[in-house]
Amino acid sequence: MASVVDVLYTDLCIRHVDLDHAWNQERHRTQDFSCASSSSSSRVLVLRRGAPFRVTLLLKGRPFNPHTDTLVVKALLGRLNVTMPVTFSDKGSPSQWRAYFDPQQGLNPQSPSVFICSPAVAPVGIYGLQMFLSTPRRRRRKRYSICNFTLLCNPWCPEDSVFLPAVDQREEYILNDSGMLYMGTPTNMSTRPWSFDQFEPDILESCLNLLQVSPQHIRNSGEDCLQRSDPVYISRVVSAMSMHTHIRLLTHFMRCCFCVVPLQINCEDDRGVLKGNWSGDYKQGVHPSTWTGSGDILRRWAKTGFHPVMYGQCWVFAAVMCTVMRVLGIPCRVVTNFNSAHDTNGNQVIEEFYSETGMKLHLSKDSIWNFHVWVECWMTRPDLGSDMDGWQVLDPTPQERSGGVFCCGPAPVVGIRDRRIDLLYDVPFVYAEVNADVHTVVVRQGQVLSYTTDTERVGCLVCTKAVGVPRPQDITGDYKDVRIPDALHMSRSSAMSADSTTRRSSAKGLSVSLSLDSARPIAGEDVCFTVTVTNRETVAKVILEHVNAQAKEYNHSPSDTFWEEHSIISLEPLEVKVLRHQMSPGQYEDVVGDSVINLAVVLKDEASLEYTLASEEFNISIPPQLTIQVPDEGSVGLLKKHTAIVTFTNTFSVPVSGVLTLFGAGLLQNKIQFRMPPLQPGTQEQKHIPFTPRLAGSRMLQATVSLQKDGSVVRGFKMVFVHRHVVS
């Protein structure tokens, strides 16, 4: 036993600090980040602001004496720091950092537990934690470097500006590491599974590096760190960094068919995550349609010294940004706007031009993308007023400059709906994307032959993945005032569930409608449609009919005509005539896949020289070919071995071969690949894949087949619920 003299003359020091990862990260809901580390020793303490965390000190020399000894905690973020004495009370201002001894257990002199609480407005980033111990025998405080910890936003904390009240929405928009991206057309929506991968190895570090290599941080690191308390600021940094741009770049625009695409030069110092490419030539990188998750992109970006990954398009930018925002603790969801307008001159009008034979022409800088994908983030807007709180649009696909930078948002969704074009940021641009009028003009050698206006086409459907289930949720009413036209509601309803689709147009003496027999044409079947012509006058007419089909990418004007028909029609006074047309699989087989078909009919009255046009854009679906089954899926448990059965069916009319890839965040450690032998039409290839889940909850198992014949990708997915504890 130590004597009184030994106790008096033995000084006090900290021998060890227990960070209690499991206890802290369970309470901060960050435990899944720890599962991404390969060993417990390499785990980083990941925390959320506005909530206390605990560290326990193992002292050496003598017990802690609260009457003579003092303990001070210091948190450092870059060149910023804050110092707080450790007190015996957990009371204090929620807007300030606090440190206090365990309020429940009291002071344990040999091994005191210290709670440290950051304010709900603390900047996001990687902090250093130091402690300073003062004793009567030591003139200077002894400094101990304890650890580094990562601090994120906290949507569970009511004082945080990203607080999200609904429990199921926090699960979906922060913790869900998989989702659905919606593409195609509003009447024939295609679903693409996506793995956000926020809890996979190296992703947390990559997302934090994105903030560190941003132009804002390089220009003024202290100011940047201070501003990271504000999700509005963070979201604009991430939006700009998702794309290969730089605020100091000399930029010019390259006309890419019907769409205007930014082309950057002198980009050597740009560290954006992705390089955009809509040219069709992807030899220098990866075809945007090949990506299936954010993890591969972010890891590749980090491993190459933060050089932009090639290539991305709108849905890839949005999905990667969603990953980054969820990692940083800001609720985020991916949103698709169908028939999305790019109004280049800000007049809320999109002009489209057709020839007299129904061929769409490249005569306007305005454009309508069949779909455009962005994200919404949840946050308060003290800079705009509390009525603008809630979901905010952020578009990481650069189309225009915002504050000198190629980014868009955050624009409050409610401000877009209410047409508050006076608000920050970029409300007029997003408003036009969902509300612009479409002026369709038929021209011949510069002469206008007909002119019509469509007020419902743009933004006819805005959707996102529904909470908790893999299906779309219609959120068009968030962007448009649904009290105005009933027709808009009908348009949205048909977009989600229609079996057929019709486009109408009328002039003084004629009206015409173009109607697909099925809004969801299937590859391998005839595409059938009708043209209904109405003579609105009491005189007979002779009509020239021109029907034209062109293939297009989702954001381009169409290419050359691949199918057309012409006929002469006689109409009796006030007669309605139905004309049937069809395209065989052999006529459209070269445009199946990600392409969209622009179909137009132009009628010419031979007597009055009056022209009337109706058009429709549609895509052709490929039947499901790839399925995943998990036998006894109700018993899938954490860290237990299970098997998935993957089946690929060749529904093509020719033999195919390719590479089968299986992957799943939290389910498989690495991707598994097999080279498939040539499969005859109608035959199957089946694989049994073992997997051992390392994350509990709902997880997505994905499979793809990259076909050798044309490089196209067939996709399949299966949602698997992993039980933390399985009862035998």
Q: Which residues are catalytic?
A: 314, 372, 395
- Locate all alpha helices (DSSP H) within 328-468, ordered by sequence: 413-417, 427-435
Alpha-carbon Rg for the chain, nearest whole angstrom, is 30
* Contact residues for 212 (Cβ-Cβ < 8 A; gap 6+): none
d(CA 292, CA 701): 11
* Of residues 311, 431, 370, the one with CA closest to residue 554: 370
- Locate all alpha helices (DSSP H) within 343-408, ordered by sequence: none
* Contact residues for 616 (Cβ-Cβ < 8 A; gap 6+): 501, 503, 514, 516, 529, 598, 599, 600
As to burial, measured by CB atoms within 10 angstroms (0-12 exposed, 13-18 middle, 19+ buried), residue 42 is exposed
Provide DSSP, 287-342. Answer: -GGG--BHHHHHHHHHHTTSPPEEEE-HHHHHHHHHHHHHHTT--EEEEEEEEEEE
Structure tokens at 411: 């624009």
Determine contact, residues 557/258, Cβ cutoff 8 Å: yes
Can you list the pairs that 721-725 forms with residues at least 24 positions away whose Cβ atoms lie under 8 Å?
A: 721/633, 721/636, 721/697, 722/636, 722/637, 722/638, 722/666, 722/667, 722/693, 722/695, 722/696, 722/697, 722/698, 723/635, 723/636, 723/637, 723/638, 723/696, 724/637, 724/638, 724/696, 725/637, 725/638
Helix (H) or strand (E) holding 350: strand 349-354
Q: What is the DSSP letter of 104?
A: T
Dmax over CA atoms of the chain, in Å, equals 121
* Contact residues for 370 (Cβ-Cβ < 8 A; gap 6+): 184, 185, 338, 339, 552, 554, 555, 596, 617, 619
Q: Tokens 């999109």 label which residue?
A: 350
Residue-wise burial string across 583-614, b where 16 or more C-beta atoms lie within 10 A, e elsewhere:
beeeebeebbebbbbbbbbbbbbeeeebbbbb
Backbone angles phi, psi at 656, to 5 degrees: -135, 155
**Bridge partners, 56 (sequence order):** 18, 113
Structure tokens at 655: 């033999």
SS3 434: helix
Residue 282: is the preceding peptide bond cis (ω within 30°)? no
d(CA 527, CA 585): 8
Tell how many helices (H) and how many strands (E) occur in the chain: 15, 40
Structure tokens at 643: 């098997």
- Helices 314-327 & 203-212 angle (0-180, nearest 10): 100
Backbone angles phi, psi at 399, to 5 degrees: -130, -35
As to burial, measured by CB atoms within 10 angstroms (0-12 exposed, 13-18 middle, 19+ buried), residue 176 is buried
In sign, the C-alpha dihedral spanning 6, 7, 9, 13 is: positive
As to burial, measured by CB atoms within 10 angstroms (0-12 exposed, 13-18 middle, 19+ buried), residue 173 is buried
d(CA 63, CA 42): 30
In sign, the C-alpha dihedral spanning 377, 260, 619, 355 is: positive
d(CA 273, CA 312): 9
